[in-house]
Structure 1
Amino acid sequence: MECRGLVSAIAAACFLGLVVSQTTLTPAVMNTTPVENVTSMTLTPVILSSTTLSCFPFNTSACEPCAPGSRYDNNTLLCTCCSDPGQCLSPEACLPCTRGFHQPLAGQQQCLPCSRGFYTNFTGSLFCHPCPPGSFNNNTGADSCTSCSPGFFSSQQSSTSCTPCALGNFCNSSGCSECQMCPRGTEALQTAAKSCTPCRPGMHKGPHHTMCQICGSGFFQIQWGQESCDICPENHYCPSPDINPILCPNDAFCPAGSLAPGFCMETFFHKAGDTCELAPVTIALLVIGGGVVLLLIILIILRRRKDADRELAVARAPLLGKDRPQRQYYEIPGDAEPVYAGW
């Protein structure tokens, strides 16, 4: 009985000394500077042996403070492991991880910083949340995400940066998850556009176009922000798509879609309604020219006939010549060629 009472007294004294020593410890300070993706706990002062670096219960009769990752249990007089995840440690306490840090396991001696693109905005977090679309985070250990600026967007979760809007698209507010295409009749000439500008006169932009297009030949548009061009009206011509149609001259033709007036050939033709007719001087020239051509044809025919007669005469000359040699047939003189008299 005396030994048992002595042991109890020693244990009580050790417990009292432990409590006194623990009540004089400086509170634990958390170092929030990430080192190798972890936040270490600075415990001052802590007297630990090499056998107390991991979380496990041990008897207070050793007269040593509770090891990191454990806390003192008044019921069992033992140091027990921190049982709740999302907490890190100090002597006699299991403290929750700060904002921007998490710990999914119990009894750990370090809180883990949130990765880039993730965050947690409360203490004692078991895990980090991904940044929602329209926001980003490029730092570790973050307790919030930053919204994308106007003209930029992020369409995925856990983004580490925002992407500028492409040509022809815009975003006029912060936190855009996607950019919008400029409406009809407007365009965005630069990337990361916050707004769209209307198409200039002489240009248009339809629903399937990204940028404003120049009006085609024979079309015009004199207003801003139009989605289509108008065809140049009849009896007018449109030399440029950004000016009003010009009235056609009286002596010219201007069908619908004309770029310039069409004139009849001066001196030889003149306008008559919707067509060009021959001028009197043109008719006279054609008659004279026709007569000259006909005369030339007659002369050519006569010349060819004369040449043919001459060639025929030359061909007959050997048959009718007078100096042909005389021959005798049966001692009677006669022509060299036989002469047939017929019947």
Structure 2
Amino acid sequence: MWRMDCRGVLPAICAACFIGMVLSQTTLSPAVTDTTFMENVTGLTVTPVVLSSTTPGCSAFNTSTCEPCAPGSQYDNNTLLCACCSDPGLCLFPGACLPCNTGFYQPLAGQQQCLPCSRGSYTNFTGSPLCHPCPAGSFNNNTGEDSCTSCSPGFFSSRQSATSCAPCALGHFCNSSGCPLCETCPGGSESLLTAARECTLCRPGMHKAPHQTMCQICGSGLYQIHWGQESCDVCPDNHYCPSPDVNPIQCPSDAFCPEGSLAPGYCMETFFRKAGETCELAPVTIALLVIGGGVALLFVILMVLRRRRDTDGELNMARAPLLRKERPQGRYYGIPCDGEPVYAGW
């Protein structure tokens, strides 16, 4: 029995030599054979081979040259080139190992199976030692995948290894597949729903600056009659704007309408009248003021006179005891004037 060392020989040539040796030296027995088919590289017919290291076929190999399967591959237990090695995960040369399928990987050497790529990652070629993360704008929600799915229009994925895409928020849009981010609607437009693929123009009476997300109603004294505007206009002088979505209305001749007016301003009827840019008193108002002033003045005079009369009366009452004079003492018939009369007995 002789051995053959394949080191330094091309793997294909060496495999042909090994298979030829196995076919020429192996005695087949139906009781101990496995129906694993190997294609004879030299053009021989396909023959079942014995998968046991105790068979004469395995003893023909130099099993001291067994090597662990390289990263990205797994042990192939269906060929003598691996089955003749004593430990699983070793083959006579790395080319005899099975490369991992697409969607699977193996980062370590000498492994018996490949691992599926996790969700959010993929590998699109065989024999991969690692999986790649799904790029931004795509996702993968299954294991063992060989590709990632681009986000649909209206959805986005801003990070790698995403397992799903998120809808664009209000005021944002994405009009293509594979968006890593949604864009803000340009000035004068908005999106009123999530997952928007396009924006709609702001209606008349509304506006939106580029940095804003939603259209805004024009403020007091402003108007806008066009679609898709970024700002509103001030209601001009001598006009008024009762609604922001209509043209300014000419101010009436007897009213005031300064810039930014919502409604015309009138002077008080009957009592005032417009004079240029101001209001002045009407004649009837002047007459009423004169009459009212005269009545008020007369009322004040009467009140003053009454007050003075009441004051004089109070003073007289207060001074009366002080003005009363005392009678001088005198004697009448030897009796003081203020004395009691005395009966003399006449």
Give the TM-score range, shorter chain.
Answer: 0.7 to 0.9
1:118 aligned partner:
121
1:169 aligned partner:
172
* Residues 13 and 279 of structure 1, relative CA distance in 2, 3 Å threshold: closer
Structure 1 residues 14-60: Cα deviation after superposition (integer angstroms, max 9, x where no partner) = 972268989973359xxxxxxxxxxxxxxx99866xxxxxxxxxxx5
2:55 aligned partner:
63
Report the secondary structure of 1:25's partner residue: strand
| Aligned AA (1:90) | N
2:35 aligned partner:
25
Query: Contact 1:15–1:63 (CA<8 Å) still a contact in 2?
Result: no
Whole-Å separation in 1 of the counterparts to 2:56 and 2:312: 152
Gapped regions of structure 2 (runs ≥ 5): 3-20, 39-47, 80-95, 339-346
Which of 77, 81, 88 is 1:90 aligned to?
Answer: 77
- Give matches, 1:1-343, under 5 Å: 16-17=25-26, 25-27=35-37, 60=53, 62-63=54-55, 76=62, 80-88=66-74, 89-92=76-79, 93-321=96-324, 327-328=329-330
Gapped regions of structure 1 (runs ≥ 5): 6-11, 29-43, 49-59, 67-71, 336-343
1:87 positional shift? 1.4
Structure 1 residues 192-240: Cα deviation after superposition (integer angstroms, max 9, x where no partner) = 1111111111111113311111100000001011010000000000111
TM-score computed with the length of structure 1 as normaliser? 0.76
1:265 positional shift? 0.5
| Aligned AA (1:137) | N
Whole-Å separation in 2 of the counterparts to 1:168 and 1:119: 33
Query: Contact 2:28–2:49 (CA<8 Å) still a contact in 1?
Result: no
| Aligned AA (1:87) | S
Whole-Å separation in 1 of the counterparts to 2:166 and 2:175: 14
1:39 aligned partner:
none
Structure 1 residues 102-122: Cα deviation after superposition (integer angstroms, max 9, x where no partner) = 112232211110010110111
Whole-Å separation in 2 of the counterparts to 1:23 and 1:79: 25
1:57 aligned partner:
none
Runs in 1 of length 4+ with deviation above 4 angstroms?
Answer: 12-15, 18-24, 44-48, 324-329, 331-335
Query: Contact 1:119–1:142 (CA<8 Å) still a contact in 2?
Result: yes
Structure 1 residues 149-175: Cα deviation after superposition (integer angstroms, max 9, x where no partner) = 011111111111111111111110000
1:320 positional shift? 3.5
1:191 positional shift? 1.3
Report the secondary structure of 1:26's partner residue: strand
1:9 aligned partner:
none
Structure 1 residues 62-96: Cα deviation after superposition (integer angstroms, max 9, x where no partner) = 21887xxxxx9x76266723443211223224221
Q: Which moved more, 1:237-246 or 1:304-313?
A: 304-313
Report the secondary structure of 2:109's partner residue: coil
* Residues 267 and 75 of structure 1, relative CA distance in 2, 3 Å threshold: same
1:310 positional shift? 1.1
TM-score computed with the length of structure 2 as normaliser? 0.76
Whole-Å separation in 2 of the counterparts to 1:143 and 1:117: 11
* Residues 334 and 218 of structure 1, relative CA distance in 2, 3 Å threshold: farther
Query: Contact 1:14–1:63 (CA<8 Å) still a contact in 2?
Result: no
Query: Contact 2:122–2:133 (CA<8 Å) still a contact in 1?
Result: yes
Whole-Å separation in 2 of the counterparts to 1:299 and 1:45: 143
| Aligned AA (2:260) | G
